[in-house]
Chain A
């Protein structure tokens, strides 16, 4: 239930590209490489991240420290964060013709909030003001691979990150595992429903990036393509 793109001025319509996947799926790395490539080609790019608006970041982190966030408070604080970035950046920049790269989008809320116990319909309605992305890459990864990537060099895992608020297990690592696998379940259900482009995130980083760039090239407007001078392959070769 994501609203249809308004095309008030088709000539100046931007492109919205989203990456989704569990922690450790490598999606941020892929988005970073995509960002570099598009910028190096002189295109107007704006990158935005989940839970990064100045307006609510502090409150969310305070609530997390005190472990006093109920599922719906948690959900609404993230929705506030998203709305602020949406109203301030995403929406106006799309209008202005930018390529907007979003590290997590409404689908993260659809997955996490529902796992935490919010009503799926309510969460979808809450975010219904957000336009549907031009493409959503879903980085599909076996849970063990993701957990290994996340755990390297980390002795501890945070309370909400591990989903400890849901009483899944007293052991943070066990809790994290259960939580992440439930999120995967939600994502898997969205693949068809929300039209995700699935990327096998167990592949090499560079292989994945080639695929991502090829897909992105297909949807960029002609005007943008004419400006580009590097092919998908070139950017990744190091």
Chain B
């Protein structure tokens, strides 16, 4: 029972931490410590981006396939789930509260609705991933990239043309999600993807990345495994989309343009392609950086005042280029951050 107890304990600790952070983000705060709404949003978006980056890392980092359409699958999850909550959410909630002998209050019922639509969004995105993946994963390299980009753009344009979900004007969604759920699903995503990478499936995926021909020669059905990775990754992108929709309370197709997909790619490359902790780190850095750059000071040169804040996006792009020039393998490379790094001893040099 040893390892299971350890897992259970760590799960409880993580859950406790998430609940504490969630309390800090609420209006009352935790023991008087509270974060403002601005930071609250930032923390939630970090969580959503962690889900996106870790799941995309499964395709781009672990399997070595070049997909730049992640925002499209996120959009599928977001819009399908938003459709359900907007048009059926209230009815389901009412049914739950009236059929549970008073056991289910409004908070629990809205949470149950959220979990239901997360499931729906994940399944819808996984289906979209399957439909996109089966034909396009036969393509390689840059051709795959452009096809996934194309599919994502088509998904977006199709959504713009559906009036039922707001079309170009956007859609207001009830705000069921909060940090707690975003955090839980971020942790769940990390755990599941980590376990996939360490499993037989993960070995097969890595072998496809290292050498597709050799993997095929070893009897691995490469297309099948690529599609599996793609579907799993899409499902998580869908979950991120659902959480985004129900936290942001407003959906616009502007949020799912191809630049969003690029942003996720930037996160995983910046953190170190193929490294899970790298993806998490990249998600944190890329979410915080544009906001941090809002605090750039003004520069006084003689009588002139230059507001560096206006240049923040230019500086952001320049930083990105500089990081790539100086650390092309990303911050962590393909290594994983490990607590053992902190306590490792310096290597003793052997004298001849």
Q: Do A and B bind each other?
A: no
